[in-house]
Structure 1
Amino acid sequence: MKVGLFIPCYIDQFYPNVGIATLSLLEKLGCEVVYPQGQTCCGQPMANSGFEHLTHGCNELFVKNFQDYDYIVAPSGSCVLHIKDHLHVDGKEDAATHIRQRIYELSEFLTDVLKVNNLRAKFPHKVGIHQSCHGQRGLHLSQMTELVAAPFSKPEQLLHMVEGLELVELKRKDECCGFGGTFCVFEEAVSVKMGKDRIDDHVNNGAEYITGNDVSCLMHLEGILRRQNSNVKVLHIAEILNHE
């Protein structure tokens, strides 16, 4: 299958290793991966701030770059959800619909499309997983604990395939980290307090690493960890699944 690799802005600028790990992992699993060179922002920051009318150029460019692929995959749940819910282009709605129906966050692509049941990955560490809100409540990558339903987690399903990795059990496993896109800018104090609480849950349960599907959330947590001079490290799930 031919996969278009969508790498969001903050990964491209601040965490390029996440993009490289995603590419490497998909190729190991037999995908023909292409990175469209002309891609830019998906428009989520503007839409989150109430300026969706300014995203038309982003939408048109996204369709131009990704309309010809069997699937589009990104290591970012929030950006994928934005495209799924908000990508529309006048005169190219068929192409936009194709993209909305064929774009996947990395872990859901591995579990739902490739149906991965084995990985050549090793990571002998205690790891806590942060279930980001967009992934959990928007893309349904994992079950919400307040629902009376069978628990599941696509990221956890993949991490259980990693040799030597021990997932730590959290007390509040689906609590928000406080990042919330522009929320962390406009409500800085609340955002940081939420982040500290999220980190405490991981640290108190013995995590050496915190992982997740959204670099935005992990970036927020990493900033707090650094200011605390903590030994706990942050890695995107793609980096762990690709680690040999």
Structure 2
Amino acid sequence: MANPRRRRSSHPAIIGAVIAAVATVVAAAIPVVWELTRDRGGSGAAAPVQGTPSAAQPQSTAPATSTGARPAPTLAAPAASPSRPAQPDVLPLVDMAEMDDFEGWEQEPLIVAGKLRDPVLTTSPCWLNDHFTVTFVVSRQFRLLEAAVGIADESSAGALRFTVLADSKEVFTTSVGLGRTRPVKVDISDATQVSLRVSTTNLNQCHRDSIGVWIGPQLRR
């Protein structure tokens, strides 16, 4: 009678190897599953890769210097104030403010010593039997008063006296007759007011038409 067929059992060594392999795979998978579970338990967003800028952190577009520091902002230079116009070195005396009403004085051109003179300041003191004076404000802005003096050729014979006053004090005087002129150059550095005067030299002139002429009076700085 034949022996019944028996089922072969697995060899113990093979079963142990299989169990060891399964345990190794399970042990390797546990850390991976743990990492995935922790990340999902956070904000749910994947952590940015190192070196890649995050969308939540905008990057500055300011250029950096060679040392890595940002350049300091450049301040605009203040606007230059407009410069004042230069003052003229020479100015006609008649351009200055007057202290009186200019009564008795004229500025019409006249012939003196054979030449037509203009600009001029003229007066005839005979109407006052003494002198005529005109005063201008100079405010210590000028160094010199320059002019020439004479008598109009249409006048009668005889000399007239010409005087410069600085703040009512005589600083220059001269007498001139017909056919002649004399220069005038006076220091007025300390004067706030300058006066020109024409005076008679004798009472007989008051009965004649004698015209004294200041030729081109000007101020120099």
For Structure 1 versus Structure 2, the TM-score category normalised by the shorter chain is under 0.3
Give the TM-score of the pair, scaled to structure 1.
0.24
State the structure with more CA Rg.
2
Give the TM-score of the pair, scaled to structure 2.
0.26
The structure in which a higher percent of residues are strand is 2
